[in-house]
Amino acid sequence: MASSNAASLYARIESDPSQTQALFRQALQDPNGAMQAICQLGQELGLPVTAEEVKAHLASLDDANTNQWVVKARGGL
C-alpha cells in the first residue's frame, strides 16, 4: 500500500506545475527539506509515505523529467 501511496502522491504533485516547481527549487537548495516537504504533503493528503518509499518510487520511474529532477536533487535523494 505504501508504494501505491508514493505513486499516488507523485501523480498529485506532478499534476500541479506550481507545486512541482516549488519542490524542485527547494530540492536544489535543501534536498532533505524537499523530501520532508514531500512526506508532509503525503500526510496532509492522506497518502502517508516515508522518504525511502519516495526514493524507491522515483528510482522505479523511466521518465526523463523525473530523472533530471533526481540528478539535480541528488544530495537528499
pLDDT tens by residue, 11-68: 999 999 999 999 988 988 888 899 999 999 999 999 999 999 998 898 888 887 777 7
Half-sphere exposure of 20 (CA within 13 A, CB side): 13
Domain-located, residue 24: yes
What total number of domains does the chain contain?
A: 1
Residue numbers of the domain that contains 24: 2-72
Domain-located, residue 21: yes
Domain-located, residue 77: no
How far the first Cα of the chain sits from its last, in Å, is: 21
Is the alpha carbon torsion for 66, 70, 64, 3 positive or negative? Answer: negative
Domain-located, residue 26: yes
pLDDT tens, residue by residue, 17-28: 999 999 988 988
